[in-house]
Amino acid sequence: MRVLLVEDHQPLVRVLRRGLDEEGFAVDVAVDGEEADFKAKTANYDVIILDLMLPKEDGLSLLKRWRRDGMKSHVLVLTARSGIDDKVRGLDSGADDYMTKPFELEELLARLRALVRRGHQVKDPLLRIFDLEIDTAAHTVRRAGQPIHLTPREYALLEFLAYHRGQVVTRSMIWEHLYNEEDENTSNVVDVYIRYLRNKIDKGFEPPLILTRWGEGYQLRGEGE
């Protein structure tokens, strides 16, 4: 899933970016309010991690305007402001979650996973598609009881398809949600990762779960297909 990290403290940016990358998130970074506003309006993020104390424009003003303008991305406020009034103000301004610094990275990642599930109206962290099981908390995958090792990007692609099970997802949708602004957008990169995933998920199993919809995109097999 794609995340916008809005934070101006560079040591924290480096730590968070590394942790999010290892978790399989595609991460873009904004270091001030103006940059955050521009990026939030020009890309479709699953979650925005937002500091409140930013150069150029504070996070609370950004949050209020984003919600007023109808922005649907989940927003997790991550800030040093720990007072009850600050938390109430942040949540009432449209934040979906609120964490204070210092924090534990594992808790932040768990909250992000919960927000992603909420965005897809899924409560159970274990996704089941035929004999395929995807543990979205542990990032483990099994098919017919056999563990399947996936790279972070392969896992992110499978999870994205699973959250849209039964729906056709286009190459542009996949790119927008799984790749950050620094990735090179070559014409066949999505097709290459679909092939990698098929070799691990479908090869030797029946029925095949990853379907090609010619001229449209890809689909994870739904019930009854």
pLDDT in tens, 71-100: 989 999 998 888 889 889 889 999 999 999
Strands 47-50 and 2-6: parallel
All structural domains of the chain: 2-119 (3.40.50.2300), 126-220 (1.10.10.10)
Please name every residue paired with 141 in a beta bridge, in sequence order, or none if there are none.
134, 148
Residue 35 pLDDT more than 90?
yes
Query: Is residue 50 a contact partner of residue 36, using CB atoms and an 8 Å limit?
Result: yes
pLDDT digits (tens, 9 = 90+) for 158-191: 999 999 999 999 988 888 888 777 766 665 888 8
Give this prediction's pTM.
0.82
Query: Is residue 117 a contact partner of residue 162, using CB atoms and an 8 Å limit?
Result: no
E runs forming strands in 108-221: 126-129, 132-135, 140-143, 146-148, 210-213, 217-220
The share of the chain scoring above pLDDT 90, in percent, equals 65
Two tokens, residue 70: 């109808």
Residue 134 pLDDT more than 90?
yes
In order of 10, 23, 189, the CA distances from 69 in angstroms are 29, 30, 33
| Alpha-carbon gap, residue 149 to 141, rounded angstroms | 7
Residue 50 pLDDT more than 90?
yes
In order of 51, 148, 200, 221, the CA distances from 96 in angstroms are 14, 33, 35, 31
Looking up tokens 């897809």 gives 120
pLDDT of residue 81: 83
Among 86, 102, 74, which Cα is nearest to 9's? 102
pLDDT of residue 64: 94
- Tell me the mean pLDDT in the region 214-222: 89
pLDDT of residue 23: 84
pLDDT of residue 120: 82
Query: Is residue 110 a contact partner of residue 137, using CB atoms and an 8 Å limit?
Result: yes
Mean pLDDT score of the chain, rounded to an integer? Answer: 90
pLDDT of residue 55: 92
Cα dihedral: 131, 137, 139, 141 (round 10): -10
Among 26, 194, 221, which Cα is nearest to 130's? 221
* Dihedral sign of CA atoms 162, 21, 33, 172 in order: negative
